[in-house]
Amino acid sequence: MGEGRGPLPPPVRYTRSGEVSIAYQVVGDGPIDLILVPGFVSDVELAWEEPSLANFYGRLASFGRLILFDKRGTGLSDRVAGVPTLEERMDDVRAVMDAAGCDRAAIFGVSEGGPMSLLFGATYPRRIAAIVVYGSYARTLRAPDYPWGEERGSRAARAAKVERTWPLALAESLAPSRVGDQRFESWLITYLRHGASPAAAAALYRMNQEIDVRAALPAIRVPCLILHRTDDSLTPVGHGRYLSDKIPGAKFVELNGKDHLPFVGDGDAIVDEIQEFLTGLRPGPEPSRVLATVLFTDIVDSTRRAAELGDHAWRDVLSSYYELVRRTLGRFQGRELDTAGDGFLASFDGPARAIRCACSITEEMARLGIAVRAGLHTGECEVTDDHLIGIAVHVGARVAALAGPGEVLVSSTVRDLVAGSGIVFTGRGAHVLKGLPGRRPLFAAVRP
């Protein structure tokens, strides 16, 4: 497992589809082959730099052999003259399947990848065991019997805006729940920019308005799962309901959420549905109690520093602090649980990573002239609504309150669990933690 990225990025390979080189990756070795047809644009290499997407891929690869690729004209695949047709894209899928030694696979089409996946399943049923589509459609333009599409003029104006502002206009619409997350937004903009140039992106957008696979839907004879979020920010849920009505025997699952990207929001719910559909097995319920290491960080003397710097400069300090903490949490596989002012609460499944993360945060902020303190404790926590609660969280908060400027203070439990890790500790004596019985020995961690 790579720090903050789930599985390590697999090597990028190439295969020929006619005269075009197609970039692809193979992840996992499960009994099911699952080929993922990406949405608008992609970059198989940069995808692994976003932890939520890497984890999404990792979960898909946990029950099958996941095959990823960049469509021709995008990402690491060859750029091509003109706009590829659905037929050419189907040729590319067959080429990737052949190169990966895949005779028959389930196909998972995301957004724009959905129509081609449906057409592929209808055309090559011997090579497709099942079809899954998410956030997708049969066509993009409105028609008398298809009221969910856009008017042609509106679509054309949107294509012009895509070219004029690429990739900002699209990035803002793909993941509304992550608006304001500077690290994520920076990655997404880079990912889209590497995926296609402004002119290529606009051309693809215009090509999408000509897609119409309605006639192929009744011909689909393989099992089909349609997934769609109720308040999808880009593709109204009516598109998904239409697909499920027109594909014989299709299963339709409507999920809560507004994010168009499947790995943003409750991506686990999407993978759960796919896993159950393809394997017949759904992951068991998450345990209500887990052993976790909690980390609290805050800026020392923040009120005084804010008064000294003034509101504008202090906001810049906080922005740098938030960005640094979130980036460092990603590196060390930490999970942000809560923020309040200049305080962060995060959890880790390993105390050594938590200590190294805390040391990295305090050291990097010290270089910026800002003193940050951190406190850690490991204990059993109750999981509720994706948060951790319980006495262990309170202990962590009390430990952090006793830490000095630039100090990473830990409980004896944390120190004992990282024996042999190379992390050095200095005793800080036994302390009474507010609201908790007895005296508890605390230790300051020193980064090796």
pLDDT class of 149 with cuts at 50, 70, 90: confident
Is residue 174 pLDDT above 80, yes or no?
yes
Q: Around Cβ 439, how many Cβ atoms within 10 Å?
A: 11
Taking CA atoms, 329 is separated from 151, 226, 247, 297, 355, in Å, by 44, 34, 44, 12, 11
Statement to judge: residues 307 and 368 lie in one domain: yes
Which has more confidence, 30 or 174?
174
Q: Are residues 24 and 169 in the same domain?
A: yes
Instruction: Identify the pLDDT of residue 8.
Output: 61
Q: What's the CATH number where 399 sits?
A: 3.30.70.1230
Q: Tokens 């940069």, residue?
A: 46
Residues 273 and 295 both lie in one domain: no
pLDDT at 447: 65
Alpha helix (H) ranges present in 227-378?
237-246, 267-279, 302-309, 311-331, 351-367
Measure the CA–CA gap between 395 and 397, rounded to whole angstroms: 5
Q: How far is CA 91 from the centre of its chain?
A: 29
Determine, yes or no, domain membership for 3.
no
Q: Are residues 308 and 416 in the same domain?
A: yes
Of 236, 260, 279, which closes a domain?
279
Average pLDDT over residues 292-303: 89
Highest mean pLDDT among 88-92, 205-209, 368-372, 420-424: 88-92
pLDDT tens by residue, 50-85: 989 999 999 999 999 999 999 999 999 999 887 788
Is residue 294 domain-shared with residue 274, that is, in the same domain? Answer: no
Of 30-39, 295-304, 385-394, the one with minimum mean pLDDT is 385-394
In terms of domains, do 394 and 252 share one?
Answer: no
Q: How many CB atoms lie within 10 A of CB 35?
A: 26
pLDDT range class, residue 381, cuts 50, 70, 90: confident
Q: How many domains does the chain have?
A: 2
Choosing from 252, 279, 306, the residue where a domain stops is 279
Domain end marker among 251, 279, 307: 279
Read off the DSSP letter of residue 403.
-
Same domain, 225 and 84: yes
Domain check: are 256 and 303 in the same one? Answer: no
Residue 5 has pLDDT above 50, yes or no: no
Tell me if 334 is assigned to some domain. yes
- Over residues 207-224, the pLDDT tens digits come to 878 889 999 999 999 999
Contact 385, 407 (CB under 8 A): no
**With 80 as the cut, is the pLDDT of residue 126 above it?**
yes
For residue 1, being part of any structural domain is answered with no
Do 360 and 227 share a structural domain? Answer: no
Q: What is the CATH number of the domain that holds 110?
A: 3.40.50.1820
Residue at 2 is within a domain? no
**For residue 317, what pLDDT is reported?**
85
- Say how many Å lie between the first and final Cα of the chain, rounded: 22
Residue 435 Rama label (left phi>0; alpha psi -120 to 50; beta): left
Average pLDDT on 114-134 reads: 94
| Rounded Cα gap, residues 149 and 143, in angstroms | 7
Strand pairing category for 335-340 and 343-348? antiparallel
- Same domain membership, residue 253 and residue 344: no
- Split at pLDDT 50, 70, 90, the class of 225 is very high
Q: Kindly state the greatest CA–CA separation across the chain.
A: 76
In terms of residue numbers, what domain contains 388? 289-446
Mark whether 258 and 330 lie in a shared domain.
Answer: no
Under the banding of pLDDT at 50, 70 and 90, the label for residue 406 is very high
Same domain, 181 and 50: yes
